[in-house]
Amino acid sequence: MDYSKEIYDGAINSSNLPVSLYQSTAIKLLEGIEEGADISYINFEFGKLGERTSMALRENVYLFSGAKTFNYVLSTENLILGSDGQIIPFKQFEELAKANNALYNKTWLEVEYNSAQIQASNIVDFKDFQSSKATFPFLRYVTFKDKNVSEICRRLEGVTMATDSTFWHTHSPQQHYQCRCRLEPLMDGVETKLSTKDLITPNPLFKNPAITEQIFNKAHPYYNVDSKYKAFAKTNFGLNIPTLEKPKSKILKETLITPKNNKVKIEGYEGKHTYGTLTGDKLSVQQDIEKKLGIKVPDKLLENIPSNVNIRYSKVNAYWQESTNTICLDTDEKTKIKNLAHEFGHLNHNKLKQLYTEDGVRKYSKEFLGLYQEFAKELKDIGVANIDKICKARKEIDNTFRSPVFDCIGEASKGIYGGGHSKKYYKESHKGVEFFAHISENYFVGNDFFKELLPNTYKLGNDYMKKILND
């Protein structure tokens, strides 16, 4: 919302802040915490975060939102007077005020939302590390090891310390906004001699939130107000923190949590899928895709996307690029839903730790390896050459449904049979990458031809996807 006129006229000022902006800011940031920690404030479901920490973070968010709202209004007020000390015309002020509004309530708010989401996830991880320190007595700092790694994190790469070391109180991710680093638990290790590391002094803004129980601590510039506003600041700038009330009955609670189990039939998809539960950045991505492609997108396809995912569109191409978190979606009417399920399948196998790269090594979950072994067994029983022959002979079947089978046997045989990619790709790619993406297609879109040729793999694949997506 634009508050330019109200601020210019004095209806809104640094002593009379807009409650609606304060509340919407807090709600946005609380959604980030809910996303990151998998909790629900309205349902009093606090998961691994725990009630005490969850409520402490909620209060912190409201205090931060109050300080943010105050700073936004005050900085906008300061635009009313020109360099000569005179009130500038409204049109001139409006242009400046709108830019300031976009800075505070769009650009910075998105960064703050991402931070709330990431830090909430980091708190859950750190609590897990502490509860399992008897098994995993060491933690190691891990970066993405790419050109985007910050200098402060680059120097922390590989640093190993005891899980309960106070070192992690100040040197845990996030070390800065948009930090992508994480801590890795180790069963064995040797503590790094910190005297041999040229570490950068941590920014006090990013102390370990699991210790402080704050996403945004008092080192944030929003809290640094002029002395004449100190008393006002102690009242949260005249803004109330709303009371969170528990649901009064089981019926009410079930009503509140319905969206989490909102499985509906969506045109173009197989079976029923969860829809209408996404919030924040993920909802924005969903809405953007739906607008561009003219289709609905099931929530579970997007539930695990990173905040920095890049979505592109093409009439002739569809792909997932892991190194840049980029997904290019096909806009062709015939294939856009199938390829949507396929490319987000690639992203999900990575984010759900089913097939993922860590320290340059491709790793697999036990669940996925079990599924792939059943697929290999079925291929052996039927014969890869036989399946290849059937696929080529059944030309009455649309290639949209034949190509997934071709691609899976092409990957399994390293390009001897099947097709869809080059033999070079099949020889160099990691086992199961294309198979997983096609299993994702089967689950969301369905494929009767795949089901006919590989019935056991089709059924087990659907059961597997349902389980890992918690759908």
**Are 465 and 437 a contacting pair, CB within 8 Å?**
no
Six-digit token pair at 27? 């709600």
Q: How many CB atoms lie within 10 A of CB 469?
A: 20
DSSP H helical ranges for 79-132? 90-102, 108-131
**DSSP code at position 105:** I
Predicted pLDDT at 256: 37
DSSP H helical ranges for 14-83? 19-37, 51-77
Six-digit token pair at 9? 């006229």
pLDDT in tens, 42-100: 888 898 899 999 999 999 999 999 999 999 999 999 999 999 999 999 999 999 999 99
**Are 151 and 237 a contacting pair, CB within 8 Å?**
no
Q: Which residues of the chain have pLDDT under 70?
A: 247-262, 315-316, 323
CA distance 286 to 296: 8
Predicted pLDDT at 316: 65
Would you list the DSSP string of 354-419?
A: SEEEETTEEEE-HHHHHHHHHHHHHHHHH-HHHHHHHHHH-TTS-HHHHHHHHHHHHHHTTTSS--
Predicted pLDDT at 248: 54
CA angle, 62 then 66 then 70, to 5°:
165
- For residue 286, cis peptide bond before it (omega within 30 degrees of 0): no
CA distance 29 to 115: 9
CA distance 219 to 207: 10
**Are 149 and 106 a contacting pair, CB within 8 Å?**
no
Name the residue type at position 153: C
CA distance 94 to 76: 10
DSSP H helical ranges for 164-208? 168-171
CA distance 460 to 374: 8
**Are 70 and 237 a contacting pair, CB within 8 Å?**
yes
Closest CA to 209 of 67, 46, 53: 53
CA angle, 182 then 183 then 186, to 5°:
145
**Are 261 and 274 a contacting pair, CB within 8 Å?**
yes
**Are 439 and 270 a contacting pair, CB within 8 Å?**
no
Phi, psi of 158 (to 5 degrees): 85, -10
Tell me, yes or no, if the pTM score tops 0.85.
Answer: no
Burial track 150-186 (b if 16+ CB lie within 10 A, e otherwise): bebbebbeebbbebeeebbeebbbbbbeebbbbbbbe
Predicted pLDDT at 324: 73
**Are 308 and 321 a contacting pair, CB within 8 Å?**
no
Closest CA to 77 of 163, 168, 9: 9
